[in-house]
Amino acid sequence: MSDFLTHECGIAAVRLRKPLAYYYDRYGTCLWGLNKLFLLMEKQHNRGQDGTGIGCVKIDMPIGQPYVNRRRSIEKDALAEIFRKETKNFYKMSRKGEMDHKDPASVKKNFDFGGEILIGHLRYGTSGDFDEGSCHPYLRRSNWPTRTLMVMGNFNMTNAAELNATLIDRGHRELPIRPDFVGKNLPSTQGERVFVRLRETDGDDSVSIESAT
């Protein structure tokens, strides 16, 4: 780098271009990508004065399975704490039988940071609040993977309201969501079905339990 470093955040990214099984076979651990991310961030440790965050994206996950995760912290020595907690959780899940840490498929399915794309951010705050919510990466979730957004960088986001309005205009859901109807628990048997009718299509607004036969 030829540019003089000033008060700047640190960023790191790891993209695994082979399946998780390749890294387990070659390096003996499914945490190879997460360990590499830690090393890249540790080299920039001096920039993470105000907080740390990491994110993970799992590619080609089955429908309904979580595919994006994030952790942020403003604890003392936040960088080491985040990775210590995730590593501890990794082996704890294995001991409890919730995951097989020697099975790459099990790790990808069950461990939050067992994906192919890993990103990290060390915050050197120059504006905004000094809390966990101000740490990157920022994450905007959606039921549609193509509309989920996780972003980090070395910048001050001064047009957040404008960006949010643009996302809503493109089909994203405005948050927080305030439903017009409050849910109710309706117990039913295997031989019964719950029917929901709408005035626009069925003539009236109603919820009923009826026999499946």
pLDDT digits (tens, 9 = 90+) for 50-81: 789 999 999 999 988 899 999 998 888 888 99
**Which DSSP string do the residues of 165-207 spell out, in sequence order?**
HHHHHTTPPPSS---SS--------TTEEEEEE-HHHHSS-EE
Which residues are within 8 A (CB) of 146 and not within 5 positions of it... i.e. 6 or more apart? none
The whole-number pLDDT of residue 178 equals 47
Report residue 14: phi and psi, to 5°.
-130, 130
Strand, helix or coil at 21?
Answer: helix
Residue 185 reports pLDDT greater than 80: no
pLDDT value at residue 5: 58
What confidence score (pLDDT) does residue 124 get? Answer: 74
Q: pLDDT tens digits, residue range 14-46?
A: 999 999 999 999 999 999 999 999 999 998 877
Q: Can you give the residue ranges of every domain in the chain?
A: 10-169, 186-213
Strand order in the sheet with 117-123: 10-15, 117-123, 51-57, 68-73
Cβ 191 vs Cβ 203: under 8 Å:
no
CB 116 within 8 A of CB 129: no
| pTM tops 0.75 | no
Whole-number Å distance between alpha carbons of 14 and 118: 5
Other CB atoms within 10 A of residue 132 CB? 15
Hey, is 9 helix, strand or coil?
coil
